[in-house]
Structure formats: structure tokens, C-alpha cells
């Protein structure tokens, strides 16, 4: 049996790999007789090129391949593993020679390997979306360049995300092996570049550092998790990274200071006069602003009294994705905005890791007042009761009606019960799609506060991965808040 050789060019091209694989299959070239050559390498065994075979006679039939394999192959091809072409060809060969359900066997070593490659590519893509930082090109108007060093061949895969997100800018992303430019109209790909071709720093970086230093919460510092989410290899791309050694070094002292400081007294009280409640029947059709104003005077349950203020939902009126939490915490109660405290920061980190833009989401809570117990000088979160959730539900329903999201993500059991009904069991139903009567789809996942309550270390990391894994479901939904 003769050996053949083939080169996929460019190495991540689905079309080029597919053409080669099709020719190999048509001529019955078994995987062990085909050398997949890497860039710059010749065939060790002097195998002639597969392309020298004549195109096989077509019987008009296409080779039927499951869609899931095509998707997996297009992701795996972006991996930098030199064995990926051969691996995928071997899998394809097995699929067309009787193992059609190959991908449903997660214990198969080829399937396992391909899944791992796919996951690594998706992770690298998320990192690129999160960590690319554009710098202004000096002397040019509205022109930006970013330098980035991905682990895999993901520039072509991720570039459309940046084109949609920064449609109105002229920009380029340079990497050591590939570059891409956007002129406001179309993407143009080119060869790799050098870091020296990208600008070094621009004025907005100081602003960004100031912002980062302000949102950094020393009490939540978990250097292992931080390095997992923001591995040190990406730090060179980030202006804020220069602050990290100092922030990390000083975290212990700052926590002690926070601990010693008295709990802040609420800064603003709800006015005493009774503002009539407009219930769901009258709220229908009202704008969100009117609802917000009405909810500010809500007295449907006793929680309003010790709370500083109503924390109503926030986000675009036409958001496609709505997140529902349980109730505001201490920081939210004081600031009047949802998800700004530690749980909100963890949520931000998860959204960023998944390339989801928080500003496209509508964030709200099942209960809109902070329920707490006072312990000494501290206000400790206390779970809302069913009566509080029920009393607040008209506001939530009115928000859902006004925003009319395509997808609702419930964080934690209280939110899930408020949205999907009292029979919802988070342990059993977590991460599963549900459809509401009006056709809106949704699912529930764990609450970020629950993640933060896990013991620091492996348990907390595992809990965070659970949250991330569930939120990944948004990627399969159109209009998911990702701008890809
Ligand atoms: N937890 C929630 O459920 N909601 C918030 O807004 C903050 C913390």
C-alpha cells in the first residue's frame, strides 16, 4: 500500500483540510498511510503529494458527516498541536467506515483528545476577547493597534467578534503569526508581526489603571484563581497588570483596615410618605423608568423599612438577556445599583471570561430590598422568605414584560423559583433550558455569592467553573450578550 503526504495551508483552514480529507477518503487512503506535513517540513518517507492523485470520479453523492464533527473539526484545526490534522482524519475515517456515533463515546481516546483541543481553542479565544487592549496610533484619527500573543491559530476565528464590537473604529491586531486589520468595512488578514510594530502606551491607560485600582477588592483576592482567569502570560497585554504586584502585596493591610472600620451607615433613607403602589395590572405597558419610580416607594412587604432604598433592575430596555439575582447585598443597598458588590464583581469576571458584554444585559433581582440582620456593627445578608419573593414578584414580572428578553438567567434558587415557579429544584434543574408560558427561554445556575462562600482553593475554583460552564449556554443562543 503506498504512502501519501499532504499539507494543509493555512494550517487552520477548514476548507483546505476538508479538500485533502475528501481526496484521501475518495481514494481509500487509510489514516496510517497519510503523512500530514507541518509548515516547513518535508515528508520523511518521501511520500508523494496526495494532490498528485486525480480527483476521484464523483458519483454525485457527498460523504455524509455529522454536523457535530464538522463543528468540532473547525475548532480543533485552530489548535497548534501538529497532530490535529491526522487525528481529525482518523476520526473521519472511522465515522465513514461504520462508527457513525463515534462522537457520542466520550471514553474514546480520539474523541477525548479532540474535545480537549477544542476546549483549549475556545479558552484561548475567550482570553483574546478579554485581554486584547487597543492603543491609539499616534498622529492618526480613530486608529488603534493591539499586540496579542495567542497560544493557538485563533485570529481568523476571533476577528469577526472585534469587527462587530469595534465596528466604528479602524484597528489592527498584530500577533507573531498572523495579523488582521479592520478599515470599518472589511477584515483583511496578513502575516505575523513584531511587538515593536504596535504603539507602546496611550493616554487612556492611566485612566484604566485608576479604574482598576478602584474596583480591586483586596478582601476577595485569590491569587490562584486570578492567575487561572488572567494567566500571567497575558499580563504583558494589560495596562492594569503593572499595578498587580503592589495591589497584591498591600491586600492584607487593606483587608485589616476594612475589618477595623465601622460598617457604613446608610447614606439615604426612603422618604416616609406613602407612594401608592402601581401593581402589575397597572404597571403593564408602563415604561421601565415609571416602574422604577413606582418601585422606589414599594411597601408590599416589610423589607423596605430597614433597607436604604429599592434596588431596581438596570440595563438596556431591549436587552436580549436578563439576569435575575436573589436580592441586593450591602453594597447594592448603599449604592442603589444591582450587582456592584463582591458577587457582582465575580459575575463581571465570569462574563468577561466568556466574552459577554455586561452593558448589553439587564440585571435585576427577585427581591428588590436588602434583607439583613444586624450583628454588632455589621449588616449580614439574610435570605428572603417566600412571602418577600411573592410580594416583589409583580415588579419582576413587569420588568420581564417591559424588557421582553429572549433568555432569562436565574442566579440561585430564589431567583429560579421566582421565575420558573415554586417547584424549581436547583440541584436537579440547574443548567437545563426551561420555556416560560410566553415562550421566553431560560435556565438557572448557581449564585456568584455561593461561589464566594466556598472554601478558598480547589472547592471555590470548582464552584466557579460550574458557574462558567452553565453561563457558556448563552453562547449557543443568538443575541446572547456576546458581541460575536
Ligand atoms: N446578589 C444578588 O442576588 N443581587 C445583587 O444585586 C447583588 C448580590
In the predicted model, is pLDDT for residue 202 greater than 90?
A: no
Q: What is the mean pLDDT of residues 236-264?
A: 67
Taking Cα atoms as reference points, which of 401, 398, 419 lies closest to residue 410?
419
481: left (phi over 0), alpha (psi -120 to 50) or beta: left
User: How far separated are the first and last CA of the chain, in Å rounded?
Assistant: 46
Confidence band for 242, pLDDT divided at 50, 70 and 90: low
Strands 178-182 and 187-191: antiparallel
Domain stops at, among 125, 148, 174: 125
Distance (angstroms) between ligand 1 centre and the Cα of 344 equals: 7
Predicted confidence (pLDDT) per residue in 373-423, tens digit: 988 888 999 999 999 999 999 999 999 989 999 999 999 999 999 999 988
Q: What is the mean pLDDT of residues 85-103?
A: 95
Distance (angstroms) between ligand 1 centre and the Cα of 50 equals: 59
Percentage of the chain beyond pLDDT 90 is 57
Q: Are 60 and 91 in contact (CB under 8 A)?
A: no
Domain stops at, among 66, 101, 125: 125
Distance (angstroms) between ligand 1 centre and the Cα of 330 equals: 9
Looking at the structure, do residues 97 and 169 belong to the same domain, yes or no? no
Taking Cα atoms as reference points, which of 308, 328, 311, 310 lies closest to residue 268?
308
DSSP conformational letter for 55: P
Predicted confidence (pLDDT) per residue in 327-374, tens digit: 999 999 999 999 999 999 999 999 999 999 999 999 999 999 999 998
Looking at the structure, do residues 88 and 47 belong to the same domain, yes or no? yes
Q: Are 92 and 25 in contact (CB under 8 A)?
A: yes
Q: Are 398 and 280 in contact (CB under 8 A)?
A: yes
Predicted confidence (pLDDT) per residue in 4-31, tens digit: 999 999 999 999 999 999 999 999 999 9
Q: Is residue 268 part of a domain?
A: no
Q: Is residue 480 part of a domain?
A: no
* Best probe residue, ligand 1, of 220, 307, 322, 327 (max atoms within 8 Å of C-beta): 327
Looking at the structure, do residues 446 and 336 belong to the same domain, yes or no? yes
Distance (angstroms) between ligand 1 centre and the Cα of 303 equals: 15
Distance (angstroms) between ligand 1 centre and the Cα of 432 equals: 22
Looking at the structure, do residues 37 and 143 belong to the same domain, yes or no? no
Ligand 1 closest atom vs CA 311: 6
Looking at the structure, do residues 464 and 315 belong to the same domain, yes or no? yes
In the predicted model, is pLDDT for residue 479 greater than 50?
A: no
Q: Is residue 218 part of a domain?
A: no
Distance (angstroms) between ligand 1 centre and the Cα of 346 equals: 11
Q: Tell me, what's the pLDDT at 438?
A: 80
Q: Tell me, what's the pLDDT at 274?
A: 28
CA distances from 411 to 14, 213, 325, 398, 400 (A): 38, 28, 5, 19, 15
Q: Is residue 276 part of a domain?
A: no
* Stated pTM of the model: 0.49
Q: Is residue 273 part of a domain?
A: no
Distance (angstroms) between ligand 1 centre and the Cα of 392 equals: 15
Looking at the structure, do residues 143 and 8 belong to the same domain, yes or no? no
Looking at the structure, do residues 297 and 422 belong to the same domain, yes or no? yes
- Mean pLDDT of the residues in the chain: 84
Helix 342-353 and helix 109-131, axial crossing angle in degrees, nearest 10: 120
* Best probe residue, ligand 1, of 314, 330, 339 (max atoms within 8 Å of C-beta): 339
Distance (angstroms) between ligand 1 centre and the Cα of 341 equals: 8
Distance (angstroms) between ligand 1 centre and the Cα of 73 equals: 40
* Best probe residue, ligand 1, of 308, 310, 326, 381 (max atoms within 8 Å of C-beta): 326
Ligand 1 closest atom vs CA 411: 3
Ligand 1 pocket, CB under 6 A: 325-329, 332, 338-339, 341, 343-344, 365, 411, 449
Taking Cα atoms as reference points, which of 439, 444, 410, 408 lies closest to residue 320?
408
Looking at the structure, do residues 136 and 240 belong to the same domain, yes or no? yes
Distance (angstroms) between ligand 1 centre and the Cα of 190 equals: 45
Domain stops at, among 125, 156, 176: 125
In sequence order, the β-bridge partners of residue 170 are 143
Q: Tell me, what's the pLDDT at 325?
A: 98
Number of structural domains (the chain) is: 3
CB-facing half-sphere around the CA of 201: CA atoms within 13 A:
11
In the predicted model, is pLDDT for residue 131 greater than 70?
A: yes
Looking at the structure, do residues 456 and 317 belong to the same domain, yes or no? yes
In the predicted model, is pLDDT for residue 167 greater than 80?
A: yes
Tallying the residues shown for the chain, one arrives at 484
Domain containing residue 61: 4-125
Q: Is residue 484 part of a domain?
A: no
Report the distance separating Cα 216 and Cα 229, nearest Å: 15
Q: Are 129 and 355 in contact (CB under 8 A)?
A: yes
Q: Which of 197-201, 383-387, 433-437 has the highest mean pLDDT?
A: 383-387
Place of cell 479538500: 19
Report the distance separating Cα 316 and Cα 8, nearest Å: 45
Q: Nearest 5°: CA angle at 147, between 145 and 150?
A: 135
* Best probe residue, ligand 1, of 303, 307, 332, 383 (max atoms within 8 Å of C-beta): 332
Q: Are 220 and 452 in contact (CB under 8 A)?
A: yes
Q: Tell me, what's the pLDDT at 61?
A: 66
CA distances from 365 to 107, 126, 394, 442 (A): 41, 27, 12, 15
Taking Cα atoms as reference points, which of 479, 393, 469, 386 lies closest to residue 432?
469
Distance (angstroms) between ligand 1 centre and the Cα of 308 equals: 15
Q: Which three cell numbers mark 202?
A: 496611550
Q: 233 or 269, which is more confident?
A: 233
- Domain with 305 in it: what CATH number? 3.40.470.10
Looking at the structure, do residues 121 and 144 belong to the same domain, yes or no? no
Q: Tell me, what's the pLDDT at 376?
A: 84
H-type helices in 28-151, by residue range?
A: 67-76, 84-96, 109-131
Ligand 1 closest atom vs CA 415: 3
Strands 321-325 and 361-365: parallel
Looking at the structure, do residues 42 and 187 belong to the same domain, yes or no? no
Q: Tell me, what's the pLDDT at 270?
A: 37
* Best probe residue, ligand 1, of 399, 449, 452, 453 (max atoms within 8 Å of C-beta): 449
Confidence band for 445, pLDDT divided at 50, 70 and 90: very high
Please enumerate in sequence order all residues whose Cβ is within 8 A of that of 376, keeping only pairs 6 or more positions apart, or say none: none
Confidence band for 63, pLDDT divided at 50, 70 and 90: confident
CA distances from 86 to 11, 36, 120 (A): 12, 6, 18
Strands 441-445 and 407-411: parallel
Q: 319 or 438, which is more confident?
A: 319
CB-facing half-sphere around the CA of 225: CA atoms within 13 A:
21
Q: Is residue 262 part of a domain?
A: no
Distance (angstroms) between ligand 1 centre and the Cα of 75 equals: 36
* Best probe residue, ligand 1, of 314, 323, 337, 343 (max atoms within 8 Å of C-beta): 343
Ligand 1 closest atom vs CA 412: 3
Q: Which three cell numbers mark 27?
A: 481514494
Q: Is residue 251 part of a domain?
A: no
Neighbours of 335 (CB within 10 A): 15
Helix 288-295 and helix 386-403, axial crossing angle in degrees, nearest 10: 160
> Distance of alpha carbon 11 from its chain centroid, rounded?
27
14: left (phi over 0), alpha (psi -120 to 50) or beta: alpha
Q: Tell me, what's the pLDDT at 177?
A: 94
Looking at the structure, do residues 119 and 140 belong to the same domain, yes or no? no
Predicted confidence (pLDDT) per residue in 274-289, tens digit: 223 233 333 344 588 8
Strand-by-strand arrangement of the 361-365 sheet = 361-365, 321-325, 407-411, 441-445, 434-435
Ligand 1 closest atom vs CA 448: 1
Report the distance separating Cα 403 and Cα 315, nearest Å: 9
H-type helices in 132-243, by residue range?
A: 155-165, 204-215, 223-229, 232-235
Amino acid at each position: 500500500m503506498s504512502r501519501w503526504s499532504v499539507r494543509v495551508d493555512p494550517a487552520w483552514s477548514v476548507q483546505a483540510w476538508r479538500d485533502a480529507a475528501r481526496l484521501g477518503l475518495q481514494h481509500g487512503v487509510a489514516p496510517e498511510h497519510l503523512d500530514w506535513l507541518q509548515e516547513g517540513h518535508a515528508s520523511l518517507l518521501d511520500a508523494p503529494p496526495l494532490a498528485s492523485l486525480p480527483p476521484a470520479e464523483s458519483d454525485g453523492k457527498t460523504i455524509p458527516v455529522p454536523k457535530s464533527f464538522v463543528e468540532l473539526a473547525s475548532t480543533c484545526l485552530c489548535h497548534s498541536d501538529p497532530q490535529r490534522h491526522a487525528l481529525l482524519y482518523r476520526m473521519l475515517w472511522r465515522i465513514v467506515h461504520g462508527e457513525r456515533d463515534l462522537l457520542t463515546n466520550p471514553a474514546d481516546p480520539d474523541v477525548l483528545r479532540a474535545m480537549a483541543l477544542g476546549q483549549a481553542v475556545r479558552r484561548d479565544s475567550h482570553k483574546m476577547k478579554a485581554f486584547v487592549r487597543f492603543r491609539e496610533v499616534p498622529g492618526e484619527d480613530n486608529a488603534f493597534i493591539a499586540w496579542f500573543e495567542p497560544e493557538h491559530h485563533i485570529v481568523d476565528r476571533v476577528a469577526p467578534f472585534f469587527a462587530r464590537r469595534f465596528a466604528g473604529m479602524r484597528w489592527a491586531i498584530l500577533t507573531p503569526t498572523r495579523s488582521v486589520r479592520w478599515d470599518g468595512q472589511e477584515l483583511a488578514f496578513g502575516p505575523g508581526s513584531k511587538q515593536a510594530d504596535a504603539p507602546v502606551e496611550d493616554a487612556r491607560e492611566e485612566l484604566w489603571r485608576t479604574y482598576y485600582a478602584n474596583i480591586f477588592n483586596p478582601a476577595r483576592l485569590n491569587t490562584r484563581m486570578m492567575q487561572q482567569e488572567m494567566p500571567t502570560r497575558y499580563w504583558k497585554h494589560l495596562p492594569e497588570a503593572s499595578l498587580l504586584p503592589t495591589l497584591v502585596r498591600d491586600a492584607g493591610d487593606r483587608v485589616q483596615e476594612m475589618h477595623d472600620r465601622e460598617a457604613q451607615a446608610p447614606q439615604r433613607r426612603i422618604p416616609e410618605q406613602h407612594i401608592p403602589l402601581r401593581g402589575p395590572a397597572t404597571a403593564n405597558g408602563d415604561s421601565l423608568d415609571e416602574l422604577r419610580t413606582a418601585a422606589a416607594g414599594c411597601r408590599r412587604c416589610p423589607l423596605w423599612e430597614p433597607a436604604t432604598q429599592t434596588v431596581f433592575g438596570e440595563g438596556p430596555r431591549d436587552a436580549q438577556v436578563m439576569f435575575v439575582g436573589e436580592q441586593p447585598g450591602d453594597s447594592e443597598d448603599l449604592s442603589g445599583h444591582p450587582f456592584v458588590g463582591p458577587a457582582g464583581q465575580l459575575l463581571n469576571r465570569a462574563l468577561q471570561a466568556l466574552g459577554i458584554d455586561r452593558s448589553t444585559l439587564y440585571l435585576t433581582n427577585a427581591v428588590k430590598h436588602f434583607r439583613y440582620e444586624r450583628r454588632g456593627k455589621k449588616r449580614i445578608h439574610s435570605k428572603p422568605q417566600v412571602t418577600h419573593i411573592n410580594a416583589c414578584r409583580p415588579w419582576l414580572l413587569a420588568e420581564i414584560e417591559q424588557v421582553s428578553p429572549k433568555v432569562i438567567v436565574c442566579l440561585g434558587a430564589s431567583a429560579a423559583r421566582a421565575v420558573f415557579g415554586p417547584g424549581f429544584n436547583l440541584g436537579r434543574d440547574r443548567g437545563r433550558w426551561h420555556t416560560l408560558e410566553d415562550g421566553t427561554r431560560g435556565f438557572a445556575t448557581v449564585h456568584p455569592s455561593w461561589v464566594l462562600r466556598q472554601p478558598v482553593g480547589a472547592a471555590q475554583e470548582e464552584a466557579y467553573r460550574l458557574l462558567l460552564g452553565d453561563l457558556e449556554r448563552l453562547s449557543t443562543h443568538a443575541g446572547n450578550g456576546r458581541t460575536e
